[in-house]
């Protein structure tokens, strides 16, 4: 089963290693991993897709949540999120095939980046399935090179509060008093997570 | 407030001092020389020179387990750091809070395969709760502060800090009060959900055959009294994991004893036939469940555990409560209806009585010395009040069966990782943590030889630890498996041993060799009266096995029982 993990992590050296070690321990291969900054400074969003069974996937989730560098672990199904990936493809292209390829690109919302008499370089943004679709229809013309980013995703029905909260650093008793009180999460969803026994944040 | 300028090495010791560290177990080397040089300015911390870094990690572990305080180990780069690895993994699997500090080559040389350079943070990532590499002197204090917080938070565990030599030499301003740890919230569970408390209470109140499974978490949380109150209110039998021994006194009427692979038959049967399991601070390890598909089939499960990732991991829970037992149990107990389970207990006690006749202690003295006798006599002589540290193997299981622990933290043993060679160094660490305790090492002849170099540490430090070697001339537990499952093909298990008494004598340790049962008690007495450390070589029956035994991969009730031939009065299977 294809699993998608959304991780909010601290921007620390080695955090990707710690994460990938947990997947490796369960024999899970990472299909894609995309990591980039978010609207919060110091917080990085990592999206990982991996082909795993449900039980090890849950174990991985629990063990990820224990990592000190990870603020939040979320698993998301296909229906729950809006997925987008980006792809670039270099297609063999003659004078004869060029109109057909351009027509296909129009259907798929692809864009031409470069064009020569021998090949055409195109880009496309869409769901992983749409990218796959474009690749399939372009196959007969000859694909010289194709690259694709892993998907990034935003949960469609986010919790009630509009903005994602800045994860808090803990205020440790004994040390210098600091300003940030801990965040009051939505009580309903917290209870749900407690019931599952899998949330740690 | 004026800030003081200190070197990185000095900051390390100042921070340890402020964390309340009194003892550090370590071994010097090139990349920790600045720290050893700065040690002289910190008289409040005692440094124990070990003989092998594995010993340092086990000592820190033993120290932590004896008190619950964080143990600290110090080692140099390269081989010094890698020698810690077994000790760190041992602490990880048994949730023991330790902080290991290693030196590393100067930061300019990192990644160049410099002399004694090793990527120890990379190596220990999967066996620590968290680890750090520090290359900037300005990060040392904050990192140490965080390490101690992480080691203790929630489910405890090991943390490693690797500090490059240049960071130890450089200096910066230091003011402890201004060090702000930069961690996310680690105590994530909060108050237990009242809905779950009520669901759990309802299950307990209507259960006919409940069993409490109590683990290490009881001790970690300090919830011994709450466990007792819960069990007594609802008259529920309590089975203990190996690391849970002592959570409820052995002779408490509700105590069943140890469960699992070498648990007594009545305990495992009670679990298999239960209609409700109340798992408190334990993780359903394969050694306590046997085959999962057939584990306590008709029982509902309540699982209270501080580590959320343990819930549903091996055994799905019907009611799961993530939290600290010390917070959860007082919320749960008021919802429990007091009751007496007379019939249920009559059944359990019946099963107990039937097993007692098979007990090796009830057999006549045939001139053979059995390990079970040694341990039972040791228990009698120490009145059950010793702090026992065991190694791994047959003697470990006999200890668990025949030394009846009544106090929490009175048994220190490597449960999860099963690390041979653990006992002697861990006992030395424990003795430093509890100098007044009567510390006994119970160790096999195989495991003892893995770390017996630490005898020198013990002598150099002038501490008294008593060592009981259960010497059967075999790697006994492996031999037992070979006997049961490999047609007695004793491949690589017979040991040609040195004379342990002579070895210990060379260190200036008082020694005894015991071959007969009637000498056991008197020798133990002599050992306790002697001021310095004592080693007793108990030369026991060679091919004795630990019973009962659930073969690996079998259901918990499918035990190999004590052979009835041992006891003539035992008739039925």
B417 beta partners: none
Secondary structure of residue B162 in the 3-state scheme: strand
Q: How far is CA A133 from the centre of its chain?
A: 20
Residue B189, pLDDT score? 84
A66 in contact with B at a CB cutoff of 8 Å? yes
- Tell me the per-residue pLDDT of A119-163, one tens digit each, with 9 for 90 and over: 999 999 999 999 999 999 999 999 999 999 989 998 887 655 555
**A201 to B184: CB separation less than 8 angstroms, yes or no:** yes
* Residue of A194, A196, A198, A201 best to disrupt the B interface, most CBs of B under 10 A: A194
Phi/psi at B415 (5° precision): -90, -60
Instruction: Outline which parts of chain A fall under CATH 3.30.70.260.
Output: 2-76+168-196
Poorest-pLDDT segment among B2-11, B376-385, B511-520: B2-11
Residue B570, pLDDT score? 38
Residue A79, pLDDT score? 82
Query: Nearest to residue B86, comparing CAs of B114, B116, B60?
Result: B60
Question: pLDDT grade, residue B357 (50/70/90)?
Answer: low
Please, are residues B104 and B82 in contact by the beta-carbon 8 Å criterion? no
**A21 to B125: CB separation less than 8 angstroms, yes or no:** yes
- For Cα atoms B294, B297, B302, give the angle at the middle one, nearest 5 degrees: 120
Percent of chain A exceeding pLDDT 70 equals 78
- Tell me the per-residue pLDDT of A64-75, one tens digit each, with 9 for 90 and over: 999 999 998 999
Residue where the block lists tokens 């490597």: B414
pLDDT at B110 over 80: yes
**B180 to A65: CB separation less than 8 angstroms, yes or no:** no
Please, are residues A131 and A87 in contact by the beta-carbon 8 Å criterion? yes
Which chain A residue shows the shortest CA-CA distance from B149?
Answer: A172
**CB atoms near residue A102 (< 10 Å):** 15
Contacts with B557 (C-beta within 8 Å, 6 or more apart), sequence order: B268, B269, B272
Instruction: From chain A, pick out residues whose CB is under 8 angstroms from the CB of B183.
Output: 68, 169-170, 172
Q: Please identify every residue of B annotated as catalytic.
A: 53, 115-116, 165, 477
Which chain B residue shows the shortest CA-CA distance from A66?
Answer: B309
Q: Please give the Cα distance from B25 to B455 (Å, whole number).
A: 14
ipTM beyond cut 0.85 = yes
pLDDT at B568 over 90: no
Q: Enumerate the H helices of A29-116 as residue ranges.
A: 54-66, 98-108
A83-152 to CATH, choices 3.30.70.1150, 3.40.50.800, 3.40.50.300, 1.10.10.10: 3.30.70.1150
**B179 to A175: CB separation less than 8 angstroms, yes or no:** yes
pLDDT at B522 over 90: yes
Distance of residue B503 Cα from the nearest chain A Cα, in angstroms = 42
Distance of residue B535 Cα from the nearest chain A Cα, in angstroms = 42
Distance of residue B545 Cα from the nearest chain A Cα, in angstroms = 35
Q: For residue B71, give the H/E element and its range.
A: strand B71-75
Residue B200, pLDDT score? 97
Q: Which two tokens stand for residue A8?
A: 């909010």
A2-76+168-196 to CATH, choices 3.30.70.100, 3.40.50.2300, 3.30.70.260, 3.40.50.10190: 3.30.70.260
**A195 to B320: CB separation less than 8 angstroms, yes or no:** yes
**A194 to B184: CB separation less than 8 angstroms, yes or no:** no
Domains and CATH numbers, chain B: 4-178 (3.40.50.970), 194-352 (3.40.50.1220), 371-543 (3.40.50.970)
Three-state helix/strand/coil letters over B25-38: EECCCHHHHHHHHH
A115 in contact with B at a CB cutoff of 8 Å? no
Residue A38, pLDDT score? 84
- Tell me the per-residue pLDDT of A25-61, one tens digit each, with 9 for 90 and over: 999 999 999 998 888 878 899 999 999 998 899 999 9
A168 in contact with B at a CB cutoff of 8 Å? yes
Q: For residue B332, give the H/E element and its range.
A: helix B325-332
Poorest-pLDDT segment among A68-72, A169-173, B14-18, B64-68: A169-173
Residue where the block lists tokens 């930061």: B107
pLDDT at B531 over 80: yes
- Tell me the per-residue pLDDT of B427-484, one tens digit each, with 9 for 90 and over: 999 999 999 999 999 999 999 999 999 999 999 999 999 999 999 999 999 999 999 9
Question: pLDDT grade, residue A7 (50/70/90)?
Answer: very high
Residue where the block lists tokens 């692809």: A110
Residue B564, pLDDT score? 63
Higher pLDDT, A5 or A190: A5
Mean pLDDT (whole number) for B496-510: 97
Mean pLDDT (whole number) for B173-197: 88
Question: pLDDT grade, residue A184 (50/70/90)?
Answer: very low
Instruction: Outline which parts of chain A fall under CATH 3.30.70.1150.
Output: 83-152
B180 in contact with A at a CB cutoff of 8 Å? yes
Distance of residue A46 Cα from the nearest chain B Cα, in angstroms = 17
* Residue of A26, A54, A172, A183 best to disrupt the B interface, most CBs of B under 10 A: A172
Which chain A residue shows the shortest CA-CA distance from B189?
Answer: A200
Instruction: From chain A, pick out residues whose CB is under 8 angstroms from the CB of B107.
Output: none
* Residue of B99, B152, B185 best to disrupt the A interface, most CBs of A under 10 A: B185
């Amino acid at each position: 089963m294809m699993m998608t993990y959304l991780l909010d992590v601290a921007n620390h050296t080695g955090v990707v290693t710690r994460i990938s070690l947990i997947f490796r321990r369960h024999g899970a291969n990472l299909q894609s991993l995309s990591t980039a900054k978010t609207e919060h400074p110091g917080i990085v969003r990592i999206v990982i897709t991996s082909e795993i069974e449900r039980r090890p996937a849950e174990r991985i989730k629990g063990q990820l949540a224990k990592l000190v560098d990870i603020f939040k672990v979320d698993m998301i199904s296909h229906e729950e999120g809006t997925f987008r990936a980006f792809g670039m493809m270099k297609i063999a292209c003659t004078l004869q095939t060029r109109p057909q390829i351009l027509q296909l690109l129009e259907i798929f919302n692809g864009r031409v980046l470069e064009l020569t008499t021998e090949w055409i370089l195109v880009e496309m943004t869409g769901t992983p399935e749409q990218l796959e679709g474009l690749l399939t229809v372009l196959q007969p013309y000859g694909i010289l090179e194709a690259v694709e980013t892993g998907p990034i995703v935003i949960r469609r029905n986010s919790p009630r509060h509009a903005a994602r909260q800045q994860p808090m650093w803990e205020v440790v008793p004994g040390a210098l008093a600091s300003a940030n009180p801990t965040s009051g999460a939505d009580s309903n969803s917290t209870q749900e997570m407690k019931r599952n026994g899998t949330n740690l944040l | 407030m004026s800030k003081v300028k200190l070197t990185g090495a000095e900051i390390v010791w100042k921070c340890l001092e402020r964390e309340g560290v009194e003892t550090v177990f370590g071994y010097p080397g090139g990349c920790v020389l600045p720290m050893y040089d700065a040690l002289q300015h910190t008289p409040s911390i005692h440094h124990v020179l070990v003989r092998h870094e594995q010993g340092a990690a086990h000592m820190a572990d033993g120290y932590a387990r004896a008190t619950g305080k964080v143990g600290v180990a110090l080692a140099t780069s390269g081989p010094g750091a890698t020698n810690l690895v077994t000790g760190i993994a041992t602490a990880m699997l048994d949730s023991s809070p330790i902080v290991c500090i290693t030196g590393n080559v100067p930061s300019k040389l990192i990644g160049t395969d410099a002399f004694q350079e090793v990527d120890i943070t990379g190596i220990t990532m999967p066996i620590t709760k968290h680890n750090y590499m520090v290359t900037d002197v300005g990060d040392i204090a904050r990192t140490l502060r965080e390490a101690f917080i992480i080691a203790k938070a929630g489910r405890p565990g090991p943390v490693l800090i690797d500090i490059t030599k240049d960071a130890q030499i450089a200096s910066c301003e230091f003011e402890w009060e201004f060090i702000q740890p930069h961690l996310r919230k680690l105590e994530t569970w909060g108050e237990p959900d009242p809905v779950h408390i009520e669901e759990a209470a309802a299950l307990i109140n209507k259960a006919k055959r409940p069993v409490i499974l109590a683990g290490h978490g009881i001790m970690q949380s300090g919830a011994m009294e709450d466990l007792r109150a819960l069990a007594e209110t609802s008259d529920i039998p309590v089975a203990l994991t190996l690391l849970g021994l002592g959570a409820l006194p052995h002779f408490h009427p509700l105590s069943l004893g140890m469960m699992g692979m070498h648990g007594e038959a009545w305990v495992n049967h009670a679990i298999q036939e239960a209609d409700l399991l109340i798992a408190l601070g334990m993780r359903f390890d394969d050694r306590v469940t046997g085959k999962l598909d057939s584990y306590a089939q008709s029982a509902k499960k309540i699982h209270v555990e501080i580590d959320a990732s343990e819930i549903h991991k091996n055994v799905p829970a019907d009611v799961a409560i993530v939290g600290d037992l010390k917070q959860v149990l007082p919320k749960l107990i008021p919802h429990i209806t007091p009751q007496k389970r007379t019939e249920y207990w009559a059944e359990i006690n019946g099963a107990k009585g039937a097993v007692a006749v098979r007990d090796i202690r009830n057999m006549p003295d045939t001139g053979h010395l059995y390990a079970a006798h040694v341990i039972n006599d040791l228990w009698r002589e120490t009145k059950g009040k010793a702090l026992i540290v065991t190694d791994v193997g047959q003697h470990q299981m006999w200890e668990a069966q025949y030394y009846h622990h009544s106090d929490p933290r009175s048994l220190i043993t490597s449960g999860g990782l099963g690390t041979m060679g653990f006992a002697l160094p861990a006992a030395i660490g424990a003795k430093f943590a509890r100098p007044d305790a009567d510390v006994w090492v119970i160790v096999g002849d195989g495991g003892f030889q893995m770390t017996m170099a630490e005898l020198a540490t013990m002598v150099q430090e002038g501490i008294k630890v008593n060592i009981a070697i259960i010497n059967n001339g075999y790697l006994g537990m492996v031999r037992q498996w070979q006997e049961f499952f490999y047609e007695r093909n004793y491949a690589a298990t017979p040991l040609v041993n040195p004379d342990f008494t002579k070895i210990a004598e060379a260190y200036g340790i008082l020694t005894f060799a015991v071959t007969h049962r009637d000498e056991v008690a008197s020798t133990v007495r002599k050992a306790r009266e002697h001021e310095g450390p004592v080693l007793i070589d108990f030369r026991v029956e060679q091919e004795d096995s630990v019973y009962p035994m659930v073969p690996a991969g079998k259901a918990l009730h499918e035990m190999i029982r004590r052979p009835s031939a041992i006891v003539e009065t035992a008739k039925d299977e």
